[in-house]
Structure 1
């Protein structure tokens, strides 16, 4: 399914196609490729049927894992096996759209943090850029490192700002150089006869596996990291001097932690939040390059300096 495919269908006001409505909707500035992949996944039989069929079993497995982790919070610690299993599962059963969305997420997260760092002034922040090109690259501790990156970034950024007695402030001409305005360098995956799992089904299945193979503290940290979208968006708002993009964020502030049992759904929302934030920055980058006001809602504002 693509936007062109949907537009080619006959539109009947008495029976409007819900996928056409979502494809045409422009409420979120999401990359067209990512949006098309999400729509295809949502419309797939995997999401509509298999997802609902497996959820009770995944929930029961999750409860067993939580009980086991209550008895043994530190062991087993099989991070290497976890990443190899995720790679194997996505290669064997993940649809090309699911694999693309998962790999895109690490590129998007890397660029969002880089944008904040570049526009924060003199701060000491060290994280590991994550740019997986192939599914095999995911074995290199990518999922765990992603969680570590976000927490370490927030800790180190705020340590630096507090030591200087200041906070993030609006930047006259933000640096968007790290925001990609072209497709990420991601190798497309093959569509075999078993590659049917949409991204939400894949996420739902591997979430309890994540809890089983990592120490309890690592899983709880990973789960809580899903609610860091709002602090990251607030940092971006302080730099841009606008809070419009906060309307994109729906994962909730981490000061009120949500249950780890909701981690699968919140991981999907985390991906959507990040795609919307990245798409917004990409839009602003283009407007800055064209000499337009950064805020597209205010055409009378002073144009960005060339």
Structure 2
């Protein structure tokens, strides 16, 4: 993980913690390389999950470390979720890491699980919010004192103004838990209105990630994320998806993109060639 405040407490005694991959201004490159080498020696593989909003220099650092180590055992998984949603996803992957899934399946499961995380925020202003298209009328409404909006960034992006006669947007059609994080807002709307409407089974509070005000364009917010909390459900969800072997690096995967080398799965008509053409030995490249 690329930020300590994106590592949520485990929900049970079996869920492992996450390692922190620090930014260039916090750690020299040789130290970062050494830390990654230790992780590989201890665990065999590393799945590094980071938000798409990460600083470009930090992302370049991740790729530099992998390049210097010449390792095909490091997966760099960029996630397009708001900060609290990323934290929830990372915890789910930590839960799955103790199951009997291969590293490739755990890495590629990130894309699957994002579709089951309903991440959003209650905002008191959308004047600087650009993650979801905001029309001029909505911008104008945000200048009215006391205005509140609810933005859902995933899985179905939308932004609505809320008021006494306005209900919350549609939520997940399955049982979830909700984690919330308050910024400079005292509103209880998420707990008192959104959670009952979404039939949330439990609510947990967390500290607001440091990246959240920049992501949402305001510090006056309450961020939230509804998610599947049960490891058995997560396991069944991932296990139900057909597994393939990456035609390039040989890692196991689910979905249509390898979590380790980012190679897309070939079209169906190209996956039935003779073993001599698409064999694992023929297509695994040398370390680069």
TM-score when normalising by structure 1: 0.27
Bigger relative contact order (CA 8 A; separation at least 6): 1
Higher strand share: 2
